[in-house]
Amino acid sequence: MIFTYLITSIIFAGGSYLQGFIFRMNNMLFVAVMTLVQYYVLSWFYFLVIKGAGAKKLIIFLTLAGTVIFFMDILYWEGPKRFNSIFASYRTLVLISCGIAVFLQLLKDEDLIERSIYMNSLPLFWFNSGLFVYLCCHFLKALTYNFLQNSIYVETFRDLQQITWSLNFIAGTIQLILFYIGLTKIKRART
């Protein structure tokens, strides 16, 4: 599932760049749809990883609720030409919560404790760490983007937007580094 997430991230970045910078079109509808697609991919990832029937049912419920929020946000609340910060904030908060659940699950896993396996030797730990770091920084952007964009203080908006985008870029870079570490752990586990 991490590979699917990475592929959707490449499509997301490439499509946004083409629409926004090459063709000079409003790319917010594309961004919203790709955010929903990535929400489904990451929800499915956490559904597969998190143990417990109750937790799995909760993930399904939260994913369906997120779909409803997405359509309400794009059709009624913020529209297709603006960043859908309500859905993006909801999505990010749900995925951060799932990430915390995975960390807690790894900490309490009796099988890992009995076999003396450290969490940091597992690819799942590194993949989840990468997602967690990125999502925590993205949450700030998701919450503030429309507020900053509609600010009457244009210069302040530019400064704050540069800060949030810089944090997002740094978190994305850290995410890729942590994914790489996770991939090296897969390689070692197979040899």
Where does the pLDDT of residue 152 fall: very low under 50, low under 70, confident under 90, or very high at 90 and above? low
For the chain, what is the radius of gyration of the CA atoms?
Answer: 18
Give the tens place of pLDDT for each residue, 124-134: 999 999 999 99
- State phi, psi for 50 to the nearest 5 degrees: -75, 130
Instruction: Write out pLDDT tens, residues 84-128.
Output: 889 999 999 999 999 999 999 999 888 887 887 888 889 999 999
* Burial environment of residue 7 by CB neighbours within 10 A (0 to 12, 13 to 18, 19 or more): exposed
Q: What is the mean pLDDT of the chain?
A: 87
User: What is the domain count for the chain?
Assistant: 1
* CA dihedral angle for residue 63, residue 20, residue 8, residue 58, rounded to 10 degrees: -10
Q: Per-residue DSSP letters for 61-83?
A: HHHHHHHHHHHHIIIIIS-TTS-
Angle at 140 between CA 6 and CA 64, to 5 degrees: 60
Identify the domain containing residue 60 by its residue range. Answer: 2-190
Q: What type of residue is 187?
A: K
The whole-number pLDDT of residue 61 equals 98
Residue 191: which pLDDT band, with cuts at 50, 70 and 90? very low
11: phi then psi, degrees, rounded to nearest 5 = -65, -45
